[in-house]
Amino acid sequence: MSRTTEQLYADLATVMATAFPDRDISVTVGPETRVFADLGMASIELIVLGERLEQFYGGKLPYGPFLAGLRKQGAEDLELGKLVEFLQSHVK
Amino acid sequence: MVVTVTAPAPQDAALTTGWDSEAFVLQGADRAELRERVLTLANTVERQAGISLQEIAVRLAVELRPGGSRLAVVASSSPDLVTKLRRAADRLADPKCKQIRDTNGLYFFEQPLALQGSLALIFPGEGAQYPGMLADLCGVFPEVEDTFSWCDRLAADAGRASLRNILHPTPEETVAAEAELRKLGPSIFGVLLADLAVTRVLQRLELPVSAIAGHSAGELAALLAAGALDSETMLGPSLVEIMDLMQQLEEEAGGPEVALLAVGAGRAVVEEVTTKVAPGVIVAMDNCPHQSVAVGPSHLIAAVESALLERGLVCERLPFRRPYHTPMFEPWMGRFRELFAGIPFHQPHTPIYSCSTGARFPNDPPSIRELTVNHWVSPVEFTRMIETMYADGVRIFVEAGPRGNLSAFTEDVLRGKPCAVIPANVTRKSGPTQINHLVAQLAAHHVPMNLVNLHGSLDLASGGRDSPVQVAHVENRGVTSPARQDTVAIMDGYLSVMEQFLDTQREVMEAFLSGRPAHVTIPQELFAFPDFTPQVDQQPPTTSHQQPPEFCFVGDVVHHELGREIILRRTLDEREDIYVDDHTLGGRGVSRVDPAQNGLPVLPMTFSLEGMSEAATLLAPGKVVIALMNVRLYRWVPYDPEPTTFEIRASVTSIDEQTGVVEVRANVRDLSNSFLQDGANKPSSEATIVLADRYPEPPEPRPFVLTEEIPCKATVEELRRNMFHGPLFQMLRSLDRYGKEGIEGTLEVQGRDHWFRSNANPRVVIDPVLVDAAMHILGAWHLEQPDWSGRILLPIGMQSLEFFGPIPEIGSKLLVRGYNEEETARQARHGVELFGTDGRPWFRLTGASYWRFYLPFGDVNFFGPKDQYFLCSRVPEAEVSDASRCYFLDPPLDLQQPVLRASGMRVTMTPREMASFQSTELDEAAKSDWFFSRLVSKDAVRSLWNTQQEGGTFPADMETDVVGDRIVCRPRDAATTDKYPPVATAIVKGKVAAFSAFAEQLGIGMVLVKKGDAESTLRVEAAQLAVADALKIPADGWRVEVGKKAGQLLVTHAGKKLRVQTARQKDAIIATTICEIDPA
């Protein structure tokens, strides 16, 4: 059974807290939160995040193609909602 | 990471014209007092609507003293400040809270890093640029505006458009500016300007900078900031010249074949893939564990990209084709080196780290220059450099330039370690706000700085943002001095402790390595490798500056820290190293007049490996070398007529205390040679040497199944004739059987008594001649192939070379097998196994990569006999009759590289010609013209002469001279020039054509075809040039008509129609004439 949206947000919060333990975020996190503009992440950290998500879920995710798709669309930032949608499609 | 309540959303970057936020640094004697002050300020601001935030910020800055507990806040409005202060107060109330790092502008560190380590500036290079960078700082910091204005002035002086038009474009121009900024010249220049502007802002803060480094072109900014480059010389016309040159180099160097691939993974992952898929691809930038840039021919990059994508990795093709930071850029380095030769360098006042070596720059100016220039052909070792800086005590990195890329890289490199990496500029925050974030974080880490000076950027003359600020600033100008003195004292103390620690650790390492107890008692946790005790060596401890050991390739020990690192130097002298007479690039026996004339002596790759292995063995005495891994070969090390200095550097990278296995990373280089001038001082090869207490058990042989196996057709003698190795290296005794997958033969281990003139019993680690000789079996495999195109193979690297026992006895007859692992158009990858007398593998080589050279010599074997071969292409269509010859050469880039060109000279020119070449001051392009025009002329004359003679003529037995404006050929060392037919030569943009005929008057003309040109018009032009050349008069608009023969034109001169033969050769139209009059 797939994980619920709420579970995925909770997962994301756990993974981010583990991956970037020295960061504090004072914004309200939601689907529209942008990883670069709002969370202050760098693009490399997005790669790190993908790596940690794979570790967390214990399997490969098509994270590279996901990011490549965003780039093709000309996206300048990644909203957490989109990331959660991606996880919803690929995390069992 | 803590996720909490709502705060005002951060501002996106937008062009502002002034301060849009303030940095507030609060201090308390301890955390409790700090919290009290935080709450007090929050209450004050809340109560007093309209209170000046600037005034608060400056007053706080003025009150700042060393020590205590600090909180820094960046806020853009009173409500924002209050929200953040209250949040901070909540966090500070929680004793579990050790730090606050909220990128929206809240910083607190219970253990500030300025008390734990030092601060470094890191400068970004190209790639950091973006349109509009720092534009919003121009109105805030006069020095930023001044820097960009200087750019305007420089452009005006040079009579060109200012780069600022691209750097700070109007909204309508942004897209075009972005494209322009991707070009190498503007990007380097633009980022350098931005780096300098940021540096000037940082100077205002008086930061205690203890180290400086740059990434790629950012090294120029680093050198300027450290005082190693003369800013007055550099920041003038030279800079424009460098920018122009870089742009030109990019346009010339890039080609459709070269591609760059950014990969969301570190070097190890990328190299793992390239080793399997395309060993020719180079990791040109090792930025961090999650980003590297691979460079290589497009088709190989495509293969690598596909393999990486299959692994789910993020890849992105970069929109340019610059093979810089790879040896592929070497052919364009000549002009760059010439340019830098005229720029003075100085001893830096602050230590600089090199992104080529990952270590500190040397202090002497010539070495700094060499390393700086060679950075363009050396991979960017950013990861290694940051690790070194961290190991040297840097804990705070400030990125002094635009965008913040390096900060992301650095954070990634040091992930999990205590450090602060702070960009001075990012694209997602306004310039002034990011400066405030920088200042806030530095202050929170207790970095001593002149915060008041930051506010001095206000227009004090007009009262600044608020007049109280001015008063506060003036009254408290002196407050920073005590703080700085205190910090210096703290840093001195810290450094002293660090030195003691390092000394202790060094002593412990020496003790363990030499098997004696340490002199001092130190806690176990300081032991990096507590169980690392050698099993065998019981020699007395090694000390610094010891006498050279007996290994054959070790000269002077320049530096030696046992168990850590070693630097060795030895002289490369052809008279002493007589083995090199048998290793001559270009071939052997190239002259009938002087049978001893050979190609260019070059250091065999295996001797570089021997040198590195010896250095590694000195670092871990008592251990044996069991493998060399990830061997990379970047360039040849030629032997000069005069001795040169060869350097080996090695350092221990890991020790496995369980197994006793030690890994040493090493590289070698010559410090100068006449071919590369100051370009020599860069690694020529590098490898990881693996040592252990004993050799591993020999493994089972690799599967060796030969489909359609047949006995070898080529003989050992034929193989010898087709390789450039002399008798010392000729150990193969039989070539037995071969198939598609490999080849098998035998060799005999030869003595080592004739390697060196003064050492008949050299002590070796791997026996470099035996290893080299075993690899000759691969040459035999290629000799068996029906297609010889691209069979000139030169090694570029190897995945691993493993040893399973001591060197076999001299006289042993051993089985050797070569494996064909992969063959592509540009590379061949092989393996070799050499079996001991017990029939089990003694060494195993895997992933040996060879670059396939396609020199334009048709079937000619570059290493074979030259009297029968013509090195250039004949163009019979351009010959007027059978009694004439026309040859053409478009010198390939491979052959224009200084060392390969030199080897070509050694096998085709006479000693007098070579001496003449050496004594003539020419730039690289002129050197190529000098050599190739003679080479092609010799081919034309030899070819024609051979129609009259039995047997061939070696090019090196024919001497050229210039009489008038013509090359003339004569027998070597002969005074007369009338033996050989005359020759006419034309050179256009490096392409050379030569025409020889038994005729009194002969001429040649050549024009290059450009897209859209009418070929018939160009043939007319070339024909007129040929007649002018023959008659030695300027070309004129002579009438030209078509002749009867294909390609023939008739040029009317003085009432006579002169026959001219024209032909197209690639993109050149060649015309030749002997001024025959057409009877019609």
pLDDT of B680-712, one tens digit each? 677 888 999 999 989 999 999 999 999 889 999
**What is the token pair recorded at B543?**
């000390």
Q: Read off the pLDDT of residues B808-834 as tens digits, 9 standing for 90 and up.
A: 999 999 999 999 988 877 678 999 999
Closest CA to B509 of B650, B619, B665: B619
What's the gap in Å between the CA of B273 and the closest CA on chain A?
17
3-state secondary structure of B385: helix
- Sign, CA dihedral A18-A20-A26-A30, equals negative
Q: Which residues contact B825 (CB under 8 A, 6 or more apart)?
A: B299, B790, B852
Sheet with B1039-1042: list strands edge to edge.
B1003-1008, B1068-1073, B1056-1065, B1048-1053, B1039-1042
Per-residue pLDDT at B19 exceeds 60: yes
- Residue B281's CB: how many other CB atoms inside 10 A? 25
Q: Which residues contact A80 (CB under 8 A, 6 or more apart)?
A: A9, A12, A29, A30, A31, A32, A33, A34, A35
Which amino acid belongs to residue B329?
F
Buried/exposed B41-50: b ≥16 CB within 10 Å, e otherwise: bbeebeeeee
The average confidence (pLDDT) of chain B is: 82
Is the Cβ pair B2, A25 closer than 8 Å?
A: yes
3-state secondary structure of B1007: strand
Is the Cβ pair A22, B99 closer than 8 Å?
A: yes
**What is the token pair recorded at B582?**
């048998």
Q: Does B1 touch chain A (CB under 8 A)?
A: yes
Q: DSSP assignment of B258-271, as one string?
A: EEEEEESS-HHHHH
Q: What is the DSSP letter of B234?
A: I
Gap between the Cα atoms of B812 and B837, Å rounded: 7
**Disruptive mutation site among B290, B292, B395, B409 for chain A (greatest number of A CBs within 10 Å):** B290
The partner residues of B1052 in beta bridges, in order of sequence, read B1039, B1057
Is the Cβ pair A27, B6 closer than 8 Å?
A: yes
Closest CA to B898 of B685, B632, B673: B673
C-alpha distances out from residue B416 to A19, B370, B410, B607, B767, Å: 9, 35, 12, 41, 44
Q: Does A16 touch chain B (CB under 8 A)?
A: yes
Residue found under tokens 């895997």: B846
| Pairing mode of beta strands B1056-1065, B1048-1053 | antiparallel
Closest CA to B900 of B728, B675, B660, B575: B675
Q: Measured between CB atoms, which of A16, A28, A68 is closest to B314? A: A68
Closest CA to B806 of B625, B607, B539: B625
Chain A: residue whose CA lies nearest to B317: A68
| Percent over 70 (pLDDT), chain B | 85
Q: DSSP assignment of B638-670, as one string?
A: BPPSS-EEEEEEEEEEEE-TTT--EEEEEEEEE
Q: What is the ipTM of this complex?
A: 0.91
Gap between the Cα atoms of B592 and B979, Å rounded: 17
Q: Does B101 touch chain A (CB under 8 A)?
A: yes
Q: Does A6 touch chain B (CB under 8 A)?
A: no
C-alpha distances out from residue B823 to B274, B277, B740, B856, Å: 14, 11, 11, 20
Please compute the mean of the pLDDT values over residues B904-920 and round it to a whole number: 88
Q: What is the DSSP letter of B144?
A: H
Gap between the Cα atoms of B359 and B623, Å rounded: 27
Which amino acid belongs to residue B213?
A
What's the gap in Å between the CA of B695 and the closest CA on chain A?
37
- Residues in chain B with CB shorter than 8 Å from the CB of A51 are 290
Q: Read off the pLDDT of residues B372-419 as tens digits, 9 standing for 90 and up.
A: 999 989 999 999 999 999 998 899 999 999 999 999 999 999 999 999
Gap between the Cα atoms of B153 and B162, Å rounded: 8
Is the Cβ pair A61, B5 closer than 8 Å?
A: no
Give residue B536's pLDDT. Answer: 31
Is the Cβ pair A24, B407 closer than 8 Å?
A: no
Per-residue pLDDT at B225 exceeds 60: yes
3-state secondary structure of B562: coil
Q: Which residues contact B978 (CB under 8 A, 6 or more apart)?
A: none
B605 neighbors B795 (Cβ within 8 angstroms): yes
Please compute the mean of the pLDDT values over residues B941-968 and round it to a whole number: 88
Range of the domain at A34: 5-90
Is the Cβ pair A38, B409 closer than 8 Å?
A: no
The partner residues of B732 in beta bridges, in order of sequence, read B747
Q: Does A63 touch chain B (CB under 8 A)?
A: yes
Q: Does A71 touch chain B (CB under 8 A)?
A: yes
Element at B521 (helix H, strand E): none
Q: What helix, strand, coil percent values describe chain B, rounded to 5?
A: 35, 25, 40
Gap between the Cα atoms of B393 and B118, Å rounded: 6
What's the gap in Å between the CA of A64 and the closest CA on chain B?
5
Chain A: residue whose CA lies nearest to B102: A24
Element at B899 (helix H, strand E): helix B898-908
Rg (CA), chain A: 12
Q: Does B316 touch chain A (CB under 8 A)?
A: yes
Chain B: residue whose CA lies nearest to A77: B428
Q: Which residues contact B959 (CB under 8 A, 6 or more apart)?
A: B910, B912, B913, B969, B970, B971, B972, B973, B974
CB pairs under 8 A between A and B: 101
Is the Cβ pair A64, B407 closer than 8 Å?
A: no
Q: Read off the pLDDT of residues B575-590 as tens digits, 9 standing for 90 and up.
A: 999 999 999 887 777 8
The number of angstroms, rounded, from the C-alpha of B2 to the middle of its chain's C-alpha atoms is: 42
Give residue B258's pLDDT. Answer: 83
- Residues in chain A with CB shorter than 8 Å from the CB of B415 are 48
Q: Read off the pLDDT of residues B842-866 as tens digits, 9 standing for 90 and up.
A: 999 999 988 776 655 444 454 555 6
3-state secondary structure of B334: helix
Per-residue pLDDT at B765 exceeds 60: yes
Gap between the Cα atoms of B104 and B84, Å rounded: 9
Q: Does B317 touch chain A (CB under 8 A)?
A: no
- Residues in chain A with CB shorter than 8 Å from the CB of B404 are 42
Q: Does A37 touch chain B (CB under 8 A)?
A: yes
Give residue B237's pLDDT. Answer: 59
| Total tally of structural domains belonging to chain A | 1
B213 neighbors B353 (Cβ within 8 angstroms): yes
Please tell me the least confidently modeled range out of B249-258, B461-470, B610-619: B461-470
Q: Measured between CB atoms, which of A17, A26, A44 is closest to B4? A: A26
- Residues in chain A with CB shorter than 8 Å from the CB of B14 are none
Domains observed in chain B: 117-251+331-417 (3.40.366.10), 255-321 (3.30.70.250), 529-692 (3.10.129.10), 710-853 (3.10.129.120), 873-1073 (3.90.470.20)
B681 neighbors B357 (Cβ within 8 angstroms): no
Give residue B533's pLDDT. Answer: 26
What's the gap in Å between the CA of A1 and the closest CA on chain B?
24
Gap between the Cα atoms of B184 and B250, Å rounded: 7
Q: Measured between CB atoms, which of A29, A44, A68 is closest to B288? A: A44
Buried/exposed B493-515: b ≥16 CB within 10 Å, e otherwise: ebeeeeeeeeebbebbbbbbbbb
Q: Which residues contact B922 (CB under 8 A, 6 or more apart)?
A: B930
Q: Read off the pLDDT of residues B514-550 as tens digits, 9 standing for 90 and up.
A: 333 333 222 222 222 222 222 333 333 333 334 444 7
Residue found under tokens 């370009």: B679
Element at A15 (helix H, strand E): helix A5-19
Confidence of residue B910 (pLDDT cuts 50, 70, 90): very high
Please tell me the least confidently modeled range out of A80-84, B178-182, B591-595, B801-805: B178-182
Q: Does A73 touch chain B (CB under 8 A)?
A: no
Gap between the Cα atoms of B519 and B102, Å rounded: 48
Is the Cβ pair A64, B264 closer than 8 Å?
A: yes
B420 neighbors B113 (Cβ within 8 angstroms): yes
Higher pLDDT, B598 or B934: B934
Phi, psi angle pair for B794, to nearest 5°:
-130, 135
Which amino acid belongs to residue B20?
D
**What is the token pair recorded at B1076?**
């025959």
- The full 3-state SS of B925-939, as one line of letters, equals HHHHHHHHHHHHHHH
Element at B11 (helix H, strand E): none
Identify each DSSP E strand in B146-298 by its residue range: 209-214, 258-263, 282-288, 291-297
Gap between the Cα atoms of B1062 and B1051, Å rounded: 12
Give residue B117's pLDDT. Answer: 86
Give residue B256's pLDDT. Answer: 53
Burial grade of B944 (CB within 10 A; 0-12, 13-18, 19 or more): buried
Is the Cβ pair A16, B1 closer than 8 Å?
A: yes
Q: Read off the pLDDT of residues B955-1001 as tens digits, 9 standing for 90 and up.
A: 999 999 998 889 999 998 777 667 889 999 999 999 999 999 999 89
Helices (H), B681-738: 716-721
Q: Does A45 touch chain B (CB under 8 A)?
A: yes
Gap between the Cα atoms of B868 and B876, Å rounded: 18
Give residue B261's pLDDT. Answer: 92
B327 neighbors B634 (Cβ within 8 angstroms): yes
Buried/exposed B423-442: b ≥16 CB within 10 Å, e otherwise: bbbbbbbbbbbbbbbbbbbb
Closest CA to B455 of B65, B119, B53: B53
CATH of the domain at A31: 1.10.1200
Q: Read off the pLDDT of residues B264-316 as tens digits, 9 standing for 90 and up.
A: 999 999 999 999 888 889 999 999 999 999 998 888 999 999 999 888 888 88
- Residues in chain A with CB shorter than 8 Å from the CB of B4 are 24-26
Is the Cβ pair B312, A25 closer than 8 Å?
A: no
Q: Measured between CB atoms, which of B12, B103, B415 is closest to A23? A: B103
Gap between the Cα atoms of B952 and B966, Å rounded: 24
Gap between the Cα atoms of B80 and B70, Å rounded: 19
Gap between the Cα atoms of B342 and B237, Å rounded: 12
**What is the token pair recorded at B330?**
């070497």
